[in-house]
Amino acid sequence: MAVTVTVALLMLLAAAWIGPLTSIETWALDWRLALPHRAPPVDDFVIVAIEEATFGQIEHWGPSALRRSAYVRVIDHLSTAGARSIGVDVFFSGASDPTDDAALAEVITRAGNVVLVSGAEAELAEASEGGERKQFAPPPDAISTAARTVASPLLFRPDSTVRWVHTMQEDSETNTAWPALARAVLLDAAQRIPDDVLINWAGPAGTVATVKFEDVHDSPDAAAPVKANIALIGVTDEMKDLFGTPVGPMSGVEIHAQAAATMLSGRYITEPPAIVALLIALPAALVVALVGRGRRHWVSWAIAGGLAAAWVVAGALAFQRGLVLLPMTGPVLAIAATGVVVSALQSEAALRSLSRLWPSWVSEEGEQLEVTVLVCDMAGYTARSERLQPSEIMTMMREFFAIVDDVVGRSDGVSARRPGDAAVVFFRPEKDGEHHAARAVQAAGELRARLDERWPDEDIGFGITLTTGQVSLGWVGEAPPEPQILGDPVNVAFRLQSECRERACTILADWETVSADPETMARMRPLGQVQVRNRTQPVQIFTPIDG
């Protein structure tokens, strides 16, 4: 039990502090935010969209996206149509035509419910990661004093994805707090709003109703949809104002609309305290240990997998029905790791097999690396099996594999598998050592001598074939798992066994093996090219000069 608890605690700490694992938790958050769930309605909002086409129809001017006189007509038409609040997600900083500024100030004053964005700092990324902070200058006094509320548009964007909005922003120079645009357009709604709001996304881009800026500019009738609703003016051109969100790319003005909808609903996404992960992970890990103890090792994996999957489903349901964000990565990782550890402890055979499969130089399952493959096949085995008792055959095969393991082990070879009366061995690269192909050829010579000494009979012989190339290392089976080596070199080595019998050669090697080492090349003689079955390219083969 102590091992189980320790493993679970270590996995919880890893999930909380290791960067890639915290990123997985963020991905799990985004996955739930994108699920169909109890999202706030966005019927109270209409976006007045400044699109790419808008710039072709209305005069463009400096940092305000369009000439300020254009906003005069649009705000007037929105106010006349009965907009409950008008938020302008456009900066009016910098110099402009005084006549335009005066007209804009006048229409803002007359409307009485216009919210402008003003000077504050924007955190464009995590400050701990060297995130950039951008300062926005306020609009001219003539405009800002006319607005009912002056607000900051700043969004919290860790890893360049918008998830939260700060409802209050501070100007670091004046130490003044401004309500964020999403909050300000609610005209200080009566309900209590937290300082940081995790946006409850109602849907992807296009979820909020939209009217075109130029249509409202040209005709008061186009502003009819904003009656009794909140209008948000902003750029939706994807080349100018587009941000990443858990539900896909979205313009800044629609992000403000969805953030405001979250606040207006009064229903916020909640995150339980960190101890919840501990209270879930430890009992689940203990269940895996208690139920899996004394059973086959795969049972622990199955229990852990089932509990982990159940927790993922529970997390999704808790969010969809109650907007509760249960921790995902820590509990799932603790449960899965416990299953693996308990399974390993249950089976010494599995441990032995894993230690053979995963020596220190193999970094992961399915690793690709260049090796020299040695296949040693017993010729005459079938004929001898007819004359021998099963117990005698078993004794012979044990001796055969013992000799193979002893010879290749002293040359740092690894026995991969034993299909019937054959042995498959591979020689891995060594750092600052003899080439693996040279060691394989040397081991083949020693193996031939040992086998000939043990079985000098004429009715039984051995074929040793060597090939070099890229292979994949892995393991198959469950009780216990067995090492496996796959790749073209293995197939070719088996195919060359027939050439050994036809040419009466005990040892055959391909060009890649022989050419890897000059000394090896000097000890080998060519036998020409052969076409092996089921392979398009011919194989050039060699045998030792000494026969």
pLDDT in tens, 123-158: 444 444 444 444 545 566 667 666 656 666 666 666
Instruction: Give the range with max mean pLDDT: 28-32, 101-105, 392-396.
Output: 28-32
Whether residue 58 is predicted with pLDDT greater than 80 in this model: the reply is yes
Give the residue with greater pLDDT, 147 vs 352: 147
Global pTM value: 0.59
Q: pLDDT value at position 117?
A: 82
- Assess whether pLDDT exceeds 70 at residue 487: yes
Which pLDDT tens digit goes with each residue over 228-239?
999 999 988 766
Model confidence at 87, pLDDT cuts 50, 70, 90, reads very high
pLDDT at 282: 73
Residue 359, pLDDT above cutoff 60: no
Q: Between these two residues, 201 and 335, which has the higher pLDDT value?
A: 201
Helix, strand or coil for residue 470?
strand
What is the CB neighbour count within 10 angstroms for residue 282? 18
Q: What is the pLDDT of residue 360?
A: 42
| Cα–Cα distance list, 506 to 22, 24, 373, 377, 445 (Å) | 57, 55, 16, 10, 9
Q: Is the pLDDT of residue 523 over 50?
A: yes
- Return the higher-pLDDT residue of 98 and 63: 98
Q: pLDDT band at 357, cuts 50/70/90?
A: very low
- pLDDT for the residue 536: 81
- Distance between CA 295 and CA 301 in Å, rounded? 11
Torsion sign over Cα 92, 94, 100, 102:
positive
Tens-digit pLDDT profile for residues 232-276: 999 887 666 788 899 999 998 999 999 999 999 989 998 888 777
Higher-pLDDT residue of 120, 209: 209
- Supply the pLDDT for residue 547: 62
Tell me which residue of 489, 465, 463, 485 sits closest to 476, measured CA to CA.
485
Q: Quick check: 73 pLDDT over 90?
A: yes
Chain-centroid distance, C-alpha 479: 31
What's the confidence (pLDDT) of residue 328? 83
Per 3-state DSSP, what percentage of the chain is helix, strand, and coil (rounded to 5)? 45, 20, 30
Examine the pLDDT at 198 and tell me if it is beyond 70: yes
Best-predicted range by mean pLDDT (78-82, 239-243, 534-538): 78-82
User: Which of the following CATH numbers is that of domain 352-544: 2.30.110.10, 3.30.70.1230, 2.60.120.10, 3.90.1150.10?
Assistant: 3.30.70.1230
Kindly indicate the confidence band of residue 434, based on its pLDDT and cuts at 50, 70 and 90. Answer: confident
261, 405, 450 from 446: Cα distances, Å? 79, 12, 6
pLDDT at 230: 95
**Residue 122: pLDDT band by 50, 70, 90 thresholds?**
very low
Q: Which of 252-266, 272-286, 430-444, 530-544 has the highest mean pLDDT?
A: 252-266
Banded model confidence at residue 187, pLDDT cuts 50, 70, 90: confident
Mean pLDDT of the 313-329 span: 90
357 with 483: CB under 8 angstroms? yes
- What is the C-alpha separation between 527 and 540, in angstroms, rounded? 7
**Range from 153-157, 212-216, 349-353 carrying the lowest mean pLDDT:** 349-353
Q: How does the average pLDDT of the chain come out, rounded?
A: 79
Q: What is the pLDDT of residue 14?
A: 61
Q: Which residue has the higher pLDDT, 177 or 431?
A: 177
Residue 45 has pLDDT above 90, yes or no: yes
Alpha-carbon distance of 181 to 351, in angstroms, equals 60
pLDDT value at residue 238 = 63
Confidence of residue 32 (pLDDT cuts 50, 70, 90): very high
Q: Residue 355 — pLDDT band, cuts 50, 70, 90?
A: very low
> Residue 221 — pLDDT band, cuts 50, 70, 90?
very high
**What's the DSSP call for residue 270?**
B
Most confident among 30-39, 58-67, 159-168, 240-249 (mean pLDDT): 30-39
Distance CA 9, CA 25 (A): 17
Residue 374 has pLDDT above 60, yes or no: yes
DSSP 505: -
495 pairs with which residues across the strands? Answer: none
